[in-house]
Amino acid sequence: MIRAFCLSLALAHPACAEDAMRLVTLGGSVTEIAVALGAGDSLIARDSTSNWPESVLDLPDVGYIRALSPENVLALDPGLIVAEGDAGPPETVDVLKAAGIPFVLVPEATDPQGVIAKIEAVAGALGLPREGKALAEKTSAGLKAAEARAASVAQPKRVLFILSLQGGRVMAAGAGTEAEGIIRLAGAINAAAGFQGYKPMTDEAVLAARPDAILMMDREGDLAIGDSDIMAQPALAETPAAKSGSVIRMDGMLLLGFGPRTPEAAQALHAALYGNG
């Protein structure tokens, strides 16, 4: 943690900055937390899921977090690497860990407790405990408000999160996923039951799920799912969600990042499902 300690000094003493303030973050929520803690000026690169705040978009992109190349990261001569728990592939993580550069892997999160643990882990890696405590308290207050709002829902809606429709098959979010976590935090029920993780569903399972709403990431290009794609899928077209036009699209990192903006995501999804009243 010597580098992390030096980084904290560097934030206050520029003489230490040349070596320590060369931070690479891998994972959108990790990058958001680092910037929220005041370490944005230390960033020299980020991964492709790090798309918020907009200021980080000008930084070099070392690739998708689950398909990283160690050469892309090491070529930037980082002083500290802080990565989300799903960074990979494992071979790349092994190379980065063996490179002699401080490498901190922070836990993934799918619930409010996990968000706070993630903030504390990043703050610890950066040597910024006071800033971490303040951010954790602010985020915790927002998460508690979201939990109270969710608990007040008398008739929770059933929500089906669709990751993709490639090949006409519904790839949905089951138990233990970030999607299920944010659906719960918004006061709804995950309609995709009986399996863990993100998996394809049969048409029979989609019909049995009876979703009141369909939730997706707001994507562009080949990964975009339009209303016409939903209606063209025979099982989806027969769901209450499709028949009522209850299709919700949100920014992927906001929706599934489980970082400081999760209270905002929960509030936005709750409003989309139940209105602002």
Q: What is the mean pLDDT of residues 184-195?
A: 96
pTM of the model: 0.90
213-269 pLDDT, tens per residue? 999 999 888 788 999 999 999 999 999 999 999 999 999 999 999 999 999 999 999
Domains of the chain: residue spans and CATH: 23-147 (3.40.50.1980), 154-274 (3.40.50.1980)
In the three-class reduction of DSSP (H, G, I as helix; E, B as strand; rest coil), residue 41 is classed as helix
120-134 pLDDT, tens per residue? 999 999 999 999 999
Do residues 241 and 225 lie in contact, with contact meaning Cβ atoms separated by under 8 Å? no
Which pLDDT score is estimated for 152?
96
Which pLDDT score is estimated for 20?
53
- In this predicted structure, the answer to whether residue 19 has a pLDDT above a threshold of 50 is no
- In this predicted structure, the answer to whether residue 14 has a pLDDT above a threshold of 90 is no
Query: What is the distance, to the nearest Å, from the Cα of residue 41 to the centroid of all Cα atoms in its chain?
Result: 22
* Counts of helices then strands in the chain (DSSP H, E): 14, 10
**Average pLDDT, whole number, for the chain?**
92
Which pLDDT score is estimated for 277?
62
Which pLDDT score is estimated for 167?
85
Q: For the chain, what percent of residues have pLDDT higher than 70?
A: 92
DSSP 8-state secondary structure symbol assigned to residue 191: S
Q: How far apart are CA 174 and CA 160, in angstroms?
A: 9
Q: What is the mean pLDDT of residues 99-114?
A: 95
Q: What is the mean pLDDT of residues 161-182?
A: 95
Q: How far apart are CA 177 and CA 215, in angstroms?
A: 14
Place of tokens 């009141």: 212
Q: What is the mean pLDDT of residues 67-87?
A: 95
Please report which residue ranges of the chain form alpha helices under DSSP H: 2-12, 17-20, 28-36, 70-74, 90-98, 112-126, 129-151, 178-185, 203-209, 227-232, 234-237, 240-244, 252-256, 262-274
Q: What is the mean pLDDT of residues 53-77?
A: 96
Which pLDDT score is estimated for 17?
43
Q: How far apart are CA 4 and CA 16, in angstroms?
A: 12
User: In which band, very low, low, confident or very high, does the pLDDT at 148 lie, cut at 50, 70 and 90?
Assistant: very high
In the three-class reduction of DSSP (H, G, I as helix; E, B as strand; rest coil), residue 152 is classed as coil
Q: How far apart are CA 78 and CA 125, in angstroms?
A: 14
